[in-house]
Amino acid sequence: MLVLGIETTCDETAAAVVERQADGSGRILSNVVRSQTEEHARFGGVVPEIAARAHVDLLDGIVASAMKEAGVGYPQLSAVAAAAGPGLIGGVIVGLTTAKAIAMVHDTPLIAVNHLEAHALTPRLTCALAFPYCLFLASGGHTQIVAVVGVGEYVRLGTTVDDAMGEAFDKVAKMLSLPYPGGPQVERAAADGDPKRFAFPRPMLGRPDANFSLSGLKTAVRNEANRLTPLEPQDISDLCASFQAAVLESTADRLSIGLKLFQERFGTPRALVAAGGVAANHAIRDALQDVAARAQTTLIIPPPALCTDNGAMIAWAGAERMAIGLIDTMEAPPRARWLLDANAKAPKGYANSRAGY
C-alpha cells in the first residue's frame, strides 16, 4: 500500500510517500518539509494569512518533490491522505483541496486525517508498537494525554485548560525578547540559568485529574520579568531555567496521574509515547524517561523529524485507516477544531477550555 500524505495545518508545508507492507510495518519513501519560520519570525509567531498564502505557493512543488524522491507515479498510489484539521483553517483548506484534486484526477481514494491521530499513530510507523499505549502530545497547539486503544479508538485522559505547552514556551520567549521560535531559545537560555532562583507555581500539582494549566505560570514569569526590568542576560537565563523547572515538575506530576488513569481503564500501557515539537526539549525528554521508569513502562519518542509536523505521519495515518476500510468522500470538510476523542468534554469548571483542539 502506497499513500501520499499532505500536511498544511500550521506553518510547515509538507508531503510524503509512505509504504505500508502486508505485515503492518511501514517504510518512508520520501518526506519533504518546508518550514515557514523565516516568514513568521519578524512577527514573533505564526500569522495565519501568511501561512495560507505560503502553502498555496509551495505545496504543488513539494508534492512533486515527494513523488519524485519516492520514485512512484500517481497511478501507483493506493490513496492520498491530507490533514483535514485541526489547525489554521486557511492552511487546512489548501492541503485538503489539493488532496481532493489529486484523488479526483487519478481516481484514487481520499483519506481525511485528523492531525492529532497522525501524531498518535506515528510510533507504529517507526517501531511497530502494538496497542494499547499512552500518548503525551505537547506542541504549540496541543497538550493532551491520550489512551491510544486502536486505529480510530482514542480516549483523552487529560488536556490543557488554557495554554498549550509549546504556546507557553513561545510566549515566555517573546516576553523575554528571545528570537522566534521561542521554545528552543528558552531551553538554550535555561541551560545557563539557576532553576531555583524564582519560586514559580507548579500548576495543578497533586490534583486527581490529569489536566494541565500553564497560564498562571506564564503570568508569574511576566510579573518577575517586569519587576526586574531592565533584564540582564543572567536574569533571562534564570527566568527560563526556573520556568522550565516548573514545567518539568508539573508535567511529571500530570503524566503520573495520566498513566495511573490509563492503567485503571486499560491495564499497563505497552509504552509512553511523546510526540509534538515540545518532545524535542532534552530536559523534558529526561523528565519523561523518569516518569516512564516509575510507571514500569517504556518511553518511545519518534525521531525529531517525525515529532514535529510532517507529511509522513499523515500518510501513515492514512495507510492505517485504509487498512481497516476507512476512506472518505469528496465531501470531507476542513476543520479548525476536531476532537480526537469524540466523547471528550471540556474539563469541569473550564467552559472556555482549549480542549477542543
Annotated binding residue 282:
no
* 140 annotated as ligand-binding: yes
**Is 256 annotated for ligand binding?**
no
The answer to whether 141 is annotated as binding is yes
DSSP structure class, residue 226: H
Are the beta carbons of 4 and 19 closer than 8 angstroms?
no
Q: Is 87 annotated as a binding residue?
A: no
- Find the length of the chain: 357
Q: Exposed, middle or buried: residue 97 (CB in 10 Å: 0-12, 13-18, 19+)?
A: middle
- Which residue from 188, 294, 163, 180 is spatially nearest to 244, judged by alpha carbons? 188
Q: Which three cell numbers stand for residue 59?
A: 505545496
Work out the burial of residue 62: count CB atoms within 10 Å of its CB; fewer than 13 is exposed, 13-18 middle, 19 or more buried. Answer: buried
187 labelled ligand-binding? yes
| Cα 5 from Cα 317, distance rounded (Å) | 9
* Site of grid cell 520514485: 71
Secondary structure of residue 280 in the 3-state scheme: helix
What is the C-alpha to C-alpha distance for residues 92 and 84, in angstroms, rounded to an integer? 6
Are the C-beta atoms of 184 and 233 separated by less than 8 Å? no
Check whether 31 is labelled as a binding-site residue: no
Instruction: For residue 249, say whether it is annotated as part of any ligand binding site.
Output: no
Q: Cis peptide before 132, with omega less than 30 degrees from 0?
A: yes
Measured CA to CA, the distance from residue 122 to residue 126 in angstroms comes to 7
Count CB neighbours of 188 within 10 A: 12
Determine if residue 137 is labeled as part of a ligand binding site.
yes
Is residue 258 part of an annotated ligand binding site? no
Query: Which residues fall in the annotated binding site?
Result: 115, 119, 137-141, 170, 183, 187, 281, 309
Query: Which residues fall in the annotated binding site for substrate?
Result: 137-141, 170, 183, 187, 281
Query: Which residues fall in the annotated binding site for Fe cation?
Result: 115, 119, 309
